[in-house]
């Protein structure tokens, strides 16, 4: 056991326990998330056909909503595109709706050309926005082949960047980039997708640096920034006369310690972003199906829309019990 000889001198923090007070409503909402009619609603059926184009050329048969619905069903029920066509066809037949179903090539081609916009907006009042990123697999030999045969196949990753409203756990912004793009470079694109005032922006130490503070200040001059400075962080030249937010974080940690700084800034809310990334991987999977970057970006955005729809159906009311 690591550090067993220092066990009596280590800080032991008891695990927090929570209790769900609205279990009946929460359980009913979880069951609704598995209903096919949640993803193929009357509004989708009414807008199934594409609006005729007035310009010369080919006419689209299916609307963008129909394509997004097919991708949603695929992600939620983990079906390949051909099986998704069969699932949608059987559902519409049970509903007595006579509508054609797009084939797998149409879904793949149209989805790759579309970048959905999240239908979310920041609520009124002070909003705490939490930013984080995670990795998603794209293609390559699996872990079993690598461990069994010692063959390391081609493995490509993408980085999923999320901005989460800490009060509602709603994902309000999303970007998908290659691994060559750093986390800090996506703070601006994430903030550009939001509207309304931001009270606090929160992220982990990977986002530490003056450029991030400047980017957030350009979006909302009055926003507080809660990012733990690195262990090697130093004060700015104007820290004695006009300290910046980052300077005050460094000074507080030096005077009171990192744990007290976390309690003072309510840094624990940053876990909401980690919860969002865990929900994405647990519900939708830890990999992307599309092969092109454009298709992967559309798939990730539609996947985030799926998670928001599920969150709108039900949320646990958890209270700390111990």
Q: Do both 155 and 262 map to the same domain? A: yes
Beta bridge partners of residue 178, listed in sequence order:
158
Total number of domains in the chain: 2
- pLDDT tens per residue, the chain (322 residues)? 455 666 666 666 677 788 888 889 989 988 988 888 888 888 889 999 988 877 777 778 899 899 999 999 999 999 999 999 999 999 899 888 899 999 999 999 998 887 766 666 667 777 899 999 999 998 765 666 666 666 665 668 899 999 999 988 899 999 999 988 989 999 999 999 888 888 999 999 999 989 999 999 998 888 999 999 988 888 888 888 889 999 999 999 999 999 899 999 999 999 999 999 999 999 999 999 888 898 899 999 999 999 999 988 888 888 887 6
Q: Do both 107 and 140 map to the same domain? A: no
**Whole-number percent of the chain with pLDDT over 70:** 88
Indicate which CATH number applies to the domain containing 255: 3.30.420
> What is the tens place of the pLDDT at every residue in 219-236?
888 899 999 998 888 888
> What is the tens place of the pLDDT at every residue in 152-173?
656 688 999 999 999 888 999 9
What domain range is 52 assigned to? 16-114+290-322
As a whole number of angstroms, the distance between CA 171 and CA 302 comes to 12
DSSP letter assigned to residue 62: B
Assess contact for 111 and 104: CB atoms under 8 A: no
Q: Do both 35 and 106 map to the same domain? A: yes
Cβ atoms < 10 Å from Cβ of 202: 25
pTM, entire model: 0.85
Would residue 89 count as lying in a domain?
Answer: yes
Assess contact for 302 and 75: CB atoms under 8 A: yes
């Amino acid at each position: 056991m690591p550090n067993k000889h220092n066990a009596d001198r280590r800080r032991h923090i008891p695990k927090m326990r929570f209790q769900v007070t609205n279990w009946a409503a929460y359980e009913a909402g979880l069951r609704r998330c598995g209903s096919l009619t949640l993803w193929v609603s009357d509004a989708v059926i009414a807008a199934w056909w594409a609006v005729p184009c007035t310009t010369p050329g080919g006419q689209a048969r299916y609307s963008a909503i129909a394509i997004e619905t097919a991708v949603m069903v695929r992600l939620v029920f983990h079906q390949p595109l051909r099986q998704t066509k069969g699932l949608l066809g059987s559902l519409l037949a049970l509903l007595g709706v006579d509508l054609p179903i797009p084939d797998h090539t149409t879904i793949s081609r149209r989805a790759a050309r579309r970048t959905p916009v999240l239908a979310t907006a920041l609520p009124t009042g002070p909003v705490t926005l939490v930013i984080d990123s995670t990795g998603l697999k794209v293609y390559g030999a699996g872990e079993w082949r690598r461990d069994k045969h010692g063959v390391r196949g081609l493995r490509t990753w993408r980085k999923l960047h999320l901005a989460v409203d800490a009060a509602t756990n709603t994902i309000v912004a999303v970007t998908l980039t290659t691994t060559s793009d750093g986390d800090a470079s996506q703070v601006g694109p994430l903030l550009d997708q939001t509207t309304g005032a931001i009270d606090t922006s929160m992220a982990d130490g990977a986002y530490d640096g003056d450029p991030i503070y400047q980017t957030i200040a350009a979006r909302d001059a009055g926003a507080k920034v809660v990012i733990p400075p690195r262990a090697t962080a130093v004060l700015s030249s104007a820290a004695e006369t006009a300290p910046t937010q980052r300077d005050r974080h460094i000074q507080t940690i030096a005077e009171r310690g990192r744990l007290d700084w976390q309690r003072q800034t309510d840094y624990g809310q940053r876990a909401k972003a980690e919860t969002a990334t865990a929900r994405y991987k647990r519900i939708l999977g830890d990999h992307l199906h599309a092969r092109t970057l454009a298709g992967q970006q559309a798939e990730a955005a539609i996947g985030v829309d799926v998670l928001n729809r599920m969150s709108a159906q039900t949320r646990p009311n958890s209270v700390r019990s111990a």
